[in-house]
Amino acid sequence: MKLAALVRLVRRDLARARRALAGSAFGIAAGTATLVFFLALGLGVRSVLLGEVFPIDRIELEPPKAKDPGLLGLLLGGGGEPTGISPDDVAKLAALPGASRVRPKLSFAFPASARGGREILGHDVGAGELPGDGIDPALAANDVKPGLFVDPMDTPGPACTDDAACAGGAYCERAEGAAEGRCSAPVPAIVSRYLVEIFDKSIAPAHGFPAVGETLLGRAQGITFTIRLGESLLGRAKLGSPRTIKARIVGISGSATDLGLTFPLGVVRRWNREFGGDRAAERYSSAVVEARSGAEVAGIIDAGARMGLSPKDTRARDVSVLVSGVMALLSLVAGIVLVVSASSITQTFRALVLERRAEIALYRAVGATAGEIGAWTVSLAAVVGFFAGAVGLLVARILAFLADWAAAEKLPDFPFKPDTFFAFPWWLWLLGMGFSILFSVLGAIGPARAAAKVDPARALAGS
């Protein structure tokens, strides 16, 4: 049988049995809509949780915390010192099969404080204790415009002895004891979305500050803060003399430390050497290992454990497992709906075959093979599945839209509240359509076999 003839047969069936077919297609459409809606919800939530809150494709490993010095140790002025991660350890992590890249981090090994923010908040605010760290600028490459997040001393300005000698907002970068320094552009810094959220949801309301959205922060990029290195509310650094530098916010990044400011690695290494000594400059505080896929993360954690390193945060893995579990459960529900719908297709097609025994027999008499009769029935089911799938996908998309609208209107604002709770990647459309057609066809296989087995002689005789 030619394809055109098959299409003609199916088209005629759709026209004359549309009510019966629509009834059986309803279940398939409902199952598809349920499946796609829940999968899109799971993917969307996972995208927010694992993309912005707890990135899953990277894991930050850190060395054991400094040992508790005990009461005697405190009295004697001693204290545990973090062991750090050596450059050799970084190389070993980079060589792990599941790791695509390793980005070491260097935390401040000295106290610091900051003051600024007039451009955004209307007046300066201060942070008596400023945590900070340094990262490989490549880690923030996707979040910051090229050339902004780099060590200013890569292209140092003219020699200077104080800030007055530097023009255009630059300051004099001069380590304690050095005869002269070099004029430096304000040191670029990035902040985390988490920090912005904390500020907006907790600090700003308490102090009557305006919320700092990403757009506002983006507009305010270029504002400078003054940072006091080597001195904070809690004390001074053991080495060096406190001095003041200028820093500039250049962007928001998931790679930035959750609490504090993040600078280019070379800058922090230089400051750590000045205020904490050579060891503080060479041993990293943690290392972010980028995995080739989310599935590799567990192997990287195990390998890190053998090197004495532990994950800084396992929430990503926990959330991933939780979201996957919930998605599997909801998909199971949708699967059950589809299976029940397939049985509805079976009933409808069985009735159609029974009702059309004489017609099938006539087709056999005029030259149809049993296979062609079966193919006709299955094709009709596939087309019903296609239309049911299209309706199901449309319904899922509309429901998602309504849910997003309701969430935007009715739910209170909360950290990381997304614009949409759903993700509809192209493959989800294909998956929904594929399942719809598959279950329709599966439901029609039994009736198709029965149709192919109709005894033409008996059917034409009316028995």
Please give the single-letter amino acid code of residue 88: D
Asked if residues 437 and 342 have their Cβ atoms less than 8 Å apart, the reply is no
Q: Least distance (Å) from another protein to the CB of residue 375?
A: 11
Please state, in angstroms and rounded to a whole number, the distance separating the CA atoms of residues 257 and 348: 60
Of 370 and 408, which CB lies nearer to another protein in the complex structure?
A: 370
Q: Least distance (Å) from another protein to the CB of residue 384?
A: 18
Of 145 and 453, which CB lies nearer to another protein in the complex structure?
A: 453
Of the candidates 56, 54, 44, 42, the residue with the CA atom closest to the CA atom of residue 194: 54
Q: Least distance (Å) from another protein to the CB of residue 1?
A: 5
Asked if residues 10 and 288 have their Cβ atoms less than 8 Å apart, the reply is no
Exposed/middle/buried for residue 461 (C-beta within 10 Å: 0-12, 13-18, 19+): exposed
Residues that bind another protein (CB under 8 A): 1-2, 4-5, 8-9, 12, 15-16, 358-359, 361-372, 455-457, 460-462
Q: Least distance (Å) from another protein to the CB of residue 13?
A: 9
| CA-to-CA dists, residue 193 to 55, 286, 318, angstroms | 13, 20, 21
Of 130 and 454, which CB lies nearer to another protein in the complex structure?
A: 454
* Exposure string for 13-36, b = 16+ CB within 10 A, e = fewer: beeebeebbbebbebbbbbbbbbb
Of 1 and 431, which CB lies nearer to another protein in the complex structure?
A: 1
Q: Least distance (Å) from another protein to the CB of residue 320?
A: 53
Of 324 and 369, which CB lies nearer to another protein in the complex structure?
A: 369
Of the candidates 340, 342, 361, 334, the residue with the CA atom closest to the CA atom of residue 458: 361
Tokens 């990647």 locate to: 425
Of 336 and 461, which CB lies nearer to another protein in the complex structure?
A: 461
Q: Least distance (Å) from another protein to the CB of residue 379?
A: 13
